Amino acid sequence: MSESAIEIAIETTALTKRYAGLSVVRAVSIRLPQGSKTALLGANGAGKTTLLGMLTTLITPSEGEARIAGFRLADNHAAMRRRIGVLAHSPMLYEELTPLENLAFFARLYGVEDREARCEELLRLVGLWLRRHEPVAVLSRGYHQRLALARAIVHRPDVLLLDEPETGLDGEAVALLDELVLCAPGLTVLAATHRHDRIGEWAGGTVVLERGAVVEDTASRPVEPAATDEAATPEPAWSAT
């Protein structure tokens, strides 16, 4: 494996998604280095959510290829999904369960070994430890987002894909988001956002989408010849720590 392949965490090559013949994402090619923080920008309907959906493996691309943490997206390795954390529009929480039950369930699903300690650590970090036995349904939208953030990182992912992560968060929670995710060293972040005023605080580069295509990219690394030779290698780009 070349040095270049080791450093690239998210790589897409002409990634395209069409619905009923209409291209929602058009030939998107980006190369985001490990540990980079990238803001994904674009107006409503530009294709940000669909692009993130493909990178999370929830949406199957129509054309093109992508590699996350060295794994080919098309292979949909369980090992690859273990390295990805997702914070979407919807908090993806069970409202009838408590924060502790929600977090413990996802920790078990991801095979987290120190489940109890990890859940306690995260619930304390997001300020929900004292409300850990209350049903999620009675918590406010802001608390839902805090818990969703904890869920997204419960398995200690290497790559985080976020869709408008600041939505519904107060100032304290935004600071928490910065501390745990957006400014966390070593973590690769690709976040769709409309908060242009905050990009300078955390993003090292931006990718701008317009009608599904990349119109500006200050985050990607240029393709190096050695990196393309690695395209068929199914090995992970780096080991989890």
Partner 1 sequence: MVGDVNAALAVVLKDLRLTWRDRAGWLSAASFAAISVLIYSFAFDLATSDVRPLLPGVLWVTFLFAGVIASGQSFQRESEQGTFDALLLAPVSPSVLYFGKVVSNLIALLVMEVALLLLATILFDTMLITAELVLIVVIGTIGYVSLTTLLSTMGSRLRSRTMLLPVLALPLLVPMLIAAVRATGASLGEPSGSAPWTLLLVVFALWSAAGAALLFPSVVER
| Binding footprint of partner 1 on the chain (CB under 8 A) | 53, 56-60, 78-82, 84, 86, 88, 90-97, 101, 105-106, 108-111, 135, 151
Spatial CA neighbour of 29 closest among 63, 1, 5, 3 = 63
Q: Which is nearer to partner 1, 171 or 239 (CB)?
A: 239
CB-nearer residue toward partner 1: 163 or 230? 163
Residue pair 190/40 in contact (Cβ under 8 Å)? The answer is yes
Query: How many whole angstroms separate alpha carbon 162 and alpha carbon 182?
Result: 10
In the complex, the smallest distance separating the C-beta of residue 105 from partner 1, rounded to whole angstroms, is 5
Q: How far is the CB of 90 from partner 1 (least distance, A)?
A: 3
Min CB(108)–partner 1 separation in Å: 4
Given the complex with partner 1, which of 97 and 213 has the nearer CB atom? 97
For the bound state, the minimum distance from the C-beta of residue 80 to partner 1, rounded and expressed in Å, comes to 8
Q: In this structure, what token pair is assigned to residue 120? A: 């306690």
CB of 184 closer than 8 Å to CB of 23: no
72 versus 221: smaller Cβ distance to partner 1 = 72
Query: What residues have CB less than 8 Å from 59, skipping those under 6 apart?
Result: 17, 50, 53
SS3 category, 170: coil
